[in-house]
Amino acid sequence: MDKYECVCGYVYDPAIGDADTGVDAGVDAGTAFADLPEDWVCPLCGASKDNFEKVD
Amino acid sequence: MYKPIEIADGIYSVGCRDWDIRDFHGYSTYEGTTYNAFLITGEKNILIDTVKEKFGDELLANISRIIDPKEIDIVISNHTEMDHSGAIPKLMRKIGKDKPIYCSKMGAKNLKLHFNREFNFKVVGTGDELKIGKRTFSFLETRMLHWPDSMFTYLVEDGILFSSDAFGQHYAGDIFFDDEIGEEIIPHARKYYANILLHFSPRVQALLKDVAEMNLTINMICPDHGILWRDNPSRIIEAYDKWSRQEPERKVVVIFDSMWESTTKMARSITSGIESEDVNVRLMNTRKWHRSDIMTEIIDAGAIAVGSPTLNNSVFPVIADVMTYIKGLRPQNKIAAAFGSYGWSGEAVKILNKEFAEMKLDIIDDGVKVQYVPDEKDLDRCFDLGVKIAKALKEKLPKI
Ligand SMILES: Cc1cc2nc3c(=O)[nH]c(=O)nc-3n(C[C@H](O)[C@H](O)[C@H](O)COP(=O)(O)O)c2cc1C
Ligand SMILES: [Fe+2]
Ligand SMILES: [Fe+2]
Ligand SMILES: [Fe+2]
């Protein structure tokens, strides 16, 4: 599954979810970026999903 | 300019004091601040961070008292914000624009976005090391503490942590070390935490855990603002642990504004009600207290009460200012209640409750609204609200 990078540098890795950030946003490992809720925000900087870009 | 201080063998504090600044990006700085920069001399000469642009000449003059600035070989930029990077262009012109700047990946990106030019960036991340002579520089990314580019530089053999903004305080005085000032510095550090880092508390907890696991010897912590922690660095680490856990205390902050003093009277009655229950309370008029001072009082409070008159179908603008600010810093684990005087439509209390709900605060009452000037009965209702807040807090935080 694709990884996505936020403007702040945080990389969302579906294999991990967002549990490794110290911020418990409750996203389980295995959740694709596209399946994250629309109101999900970057666990580090709070930016919304549209601030992320796919990592090649 | 002051004589650079040798803080360890061959390591100098060469930054500048900004005595006059009273408003630091919207944060009140009654005692000014300092922009700390550090020169590590040896086989190669290394400068960690710079100062605000307008202090560039002073920085160069300070360095000149130790070495010719042209002899600087490497610059480390722990943080892109302009209070620490502003003098980079001037410095690089002086020392040679091709000299390397070590920074995080986001640091390289963000420095470009600030100065619109390329430098010779050497991107480093957590665990990367730079060995120079007898010294090892180890880097630790601290992303979003408090900017995407933030990082620490740790001097392994000396046990010195250059922590960028973390553990800093806006304080410019005749004193440079924790042992020279004692506990007096803690309120400044607390204010810094409350206003710059509070909303990143879960990240601070994670970082403290990581650092503890790394088992680093920390003899000294050198932040980019204020005094250096050389005597007891664990004092400030323990304080950060406490503040980032956001544990509430038996203390209420009553925040209000008022046009014709009706909301003021309500605020005073609520305060009396709280005091009648032997709970600590602080009454803060938003036109007398700076938002950053209100925030500092909020971090250890177990409850807030916010009062606003209704103005043009909304809350009073100064209250909106303070509420926006508080909300952004995401205080947790707090009880909340609203109050306010109004004339006809009376939207303020409803709007405040909506804000509290979005902030996930525990709203324990619908709030007290009074049409125009409060009478005895109205003031009794306010007193009772104070009692209710205090009792809820005592129930939540039983004395052991
Ligand atoms: C304390 C602080 C907090 C900030 N928070 C954010 C933020 O949450 N999101 C963001 O996009 N930028 C944030 N910024 C970055 C500023 O928006 C950025 O530096 C901007 O260029 C400042 O514009 P100005 O020069 O007009 O003040 C923050 C800056 C500071 C100093
Ligand atoms: Fe982000
Ligand atoms: Fe900063
Ligand atoms: Fe700073």
- Residue reference for tokens 């390289």: B108
Helices (H), B176-305: 178-181, 186-192, 201-214, 233-245, 262-276, 291-298
pLDDT for B1 beyond 60: no
Question: pTM for the complete prediction?
Answer: 0.96
pLDDT for B2 beyond 80: no
Quote the pLDDT of residue A21.
72
Tell me how far the alpha carbon of residue B397 lies from the centroid of ligand 4, in angstroms.
35
pLDDT for B151 beyond 90: yes
pLDDT for B225 beyond 60: yes
Q: Which residues contact A56 (CB under 8 A, 6 or more apart)?
A: none
- Of A18-27, A35-44, B53-62, where does mean pLDDT reach its minimum? A18-27
Residue of chain A whose Cα is closest to the Cα of B199: A45
B339-354 tens-digit pLDDT: 999 999 999 999 999 9
Which residue of B106, B110, B144, B211 to mutate against A (max A Cβ within 10 Å)? B144
Ligand nearest to the CA of A8: 2
pLDDT for B118 beyond 70: yes
Q: Which residues of B participate in catalysis according to the annotation? A: 25, 79, 81, 83, 146, 165, 192, 225
Tokens of A56: 């090649």
Ligand nearest to the CA of A6: 2
Tell whether B79 lies on the interface with A, counting CB pairs under 8 A. no
Sign of the CA dihedral running B238, B13, B129, B159: negative
**Distance between CA atoms of B296 and B3, rounded to whole angstroms?**
33
How far away is chain B from the Cα of A53, in angstroms, using its nearest Cα?
Answer: 15
How far away is chain A from the Cα of B192, in angstroms, using its nearest Cα?
Answer: 19
Is any ligand 1 atom within 6 A of the Cβ of residue B25? yes
- Residue type, position B79, single letter: H
Determine the residue of B24, B79, B143, B146 to mutate for testing ligand 1's pocket, defined as the one with the most ligand atoms within 8 A of the Cβ atom. B146
Residue pair B336/B393 in contact (Cβ under 8 Å)? The answer is no
